[in-house]
Amino acid sequence: MAKNKEGAVMTKMTWKNAMKRDWQLYLLLLFPLAMVVIFNYAAYPGLRMVFMDYNPVKGYAGSKWVGLDTFKKIFRDADFIRALKSSIVFNLLDLLVGFPTPIILALILNELRYPRFKKVTQTILYLPHFLSWAIIGSVAYTMFRPTSGLVNIFLMNIGVIEQGIPFLTEKWHWAVTYLMIGVWQGMGWGTIIYLAAITGISGDLYEAAMIDGANRWERMWHITLPGIKGTVVTLLIMNLGRVMGSNLERLTVFGNTQVKDFQYQLAVYIYNKGLQSGKYSMATAVNLFQSLVGLVLVLLSDKIAKLLGEEGLL
C-alpha cells in the first residue's frame, strides 16, 4: 500500500473512485465549467481572423489569408508603439500604487475593534466598486475642472492655490489623478480577499504573541502579513497578467485632447483603429498580442514565485 513521506497510508484515487465519491460536486461544477468553455474558449477558432484580412460580409470562408501581415502592419504603426508604451507604463504604475493599497487597508480594517464602525467603513469603501466609470468620470470632471471644478474652487477660496490645478487637463496631473481615482475605486473591493485570508489565521498565534509582549504593529508584521503571503503572491501573479491590458471605459471617460499622450493606450487603439474602422483582424491581433504577453508574464512570475519558495498559481 502506498505511503507518503510521513508514512501515512494513501488511498489510490482513480477517476472512477473520485466520480463515485463526489459526483454531486462534479455535477455542480459542470455548469460553470460549461460557461467557461462556451464563453472563454469556444471563440478561440475565431482567432484565425488575425491571419486574414477579415471582412464580416465575406466571413471566414471568403476573407483572404494574409499570414502575419496584420502583425507586421501593427508593429510598424507609430500609434501602436505609443499605445503600447502608455499601456505598460500605466499598468505598472497602477500595480505599484494600486496593489499594496488594499493590503494596507485590509490590515487597518482588521485592527478595527468596534464592529459597527468596521462594517460601516467597509461598506463605504466597497461602494465605489459598484459605480460605473461613466458616473465616476462625470463626477471627476465636475470636481476637478481647472476653473469651475469644486476642488479647485475650494482650494482657491481657502487661499491654498491662486490658479486652478489642471487635474484632468494636463497630462502629468492627469496621470496622477487617473491613478489615484483608480486606487480609490478598487481598493475597498480589493480588501475582501485579504480580509478573508486574515480570518483564516489562527487566533492562537495572536494570543501567543500577545503573551510574549508583541504590540499591534509587531503582530501585524510577524503574524498577519506572513499569514496572507500566499494570497498576496497569487494575486500579484494574476495582476501581472494584466500589465498589457487596459480598461476602455476608464480611459474613455477620462479622455480629452490635452492628455492623449498618456490616455492613448491599447484599449483606445483597438477601439479607434480596429472596431470603429471595422478592422477586426487588426483589433483581434492586438488583443491576442496582449493576451499572449499576459500569459507569458503569468507563467514567468509563477516560476519566479516557486523559485523563491512560494506556492505559485499553477
Options 127-135, 217-225, 239-247, 278-286: segment touching another protein (CB under 8 A): 278-286
Single residue of 24, 257, 307, 309 touching another protein by CB under 8 A: 257
Task: Please give the grid coordinates belonging to residue 123.
Answer: 461598506
Angle between helices 171-199 and 133-144 (to 10 degrees): 130
Single residue of 39, 65, 114, 217 touching another protein by CB under 8 A: 65
Least separation in angstroms between CB 285 and another protein: 11
Residues 179-238 that bind another protein (CB under 8 A): none
Q: Is 60 in the site for another protein (CB under 8 A)?
A: yes
Least separation in angstroms between CB 313 and another protein: 10
Least separation in angstroms between CB 204 and another protein: 23
The H or E element that residue 53 is part of is strand 52-53
Give CA–CA dist 11/21, Å, rounded.
Answer: 13
Give CA–CA dist 214/207, Å, rounded.
Answer: 10
Return the number of the residue (62 or 226) whose C-beta is nearest another protein.
62
Q: Is 280 in the site for another protein (CB under 8 A)?
A: yes
Single residue of 1, 10, 61, 158 touching another protein by CB under 8 A: 61
Q: Is 78 in the site for another protein (CB under 8 A)?
A: yes
Least separation in angstroms between CB 99 and another protein: 24
Return the number of the residue (185 or 287) whose C-beta is nearest another protein.
287
285 Cα distance to chain centroid: 21
Residue 245 falls in which region: left (phi positive, over 0), alpha (psi -120 to 50) or beta? beta
Q: Is 275 in the site for another protein (CB under 8 A)?
A: yes
Single residue of 22, 79, 111, 218 touching another protein by CB under 8 A: 79
Q: Is 67 in the site for another protein (CB under 8 A)?
A: yes
Query: Vertex 286, ends 280 and 291: CA angle to 5°?
Result: 120
Residue 55 falls in which region: left (phi positive, over 0), alpha (psi -120 to 50) or beta? beta
Q: Is the dihedral of CA 222, 226, 228, 229 positive or negative?
A: positive
Q: Which ranges of the chain would DSSP assign to H, the alpha helix? A: 15-36, 59-62, 69-76, 78-98, 100-111, 115-126, 133-144, 150-157, 171-199, 203-211, 216-219, 225-227, 229-240, 248-253, 260-263, 266-269, 280-307
Single residue of 145, 240, 244, 287 touching another protein by CB under 8 A: 145
Task: Kindly determine how many residues on this chain lie close enough to bind another protein according to the rule CB under 8 A.
Answer: 50
The H or E element that residue 197 is part of is helix 171-199
Task: Please give the grid coordinates belonging to residue 180.
Answer: 489615484
Least separation in angstroms between CB 176 and another protein: 17
Q: Is 295 in the site for another protein (CB under 8 A)?
A: yes
Interacting residues toward another protein by CB under 8 A: 18, 41, 44-45, 47-52, 55-62, 64-69, 78-79, 141, 145-148, 168-169, 256-258, 260, 272-273, 275-280, 288, 292, 295, 311, 314
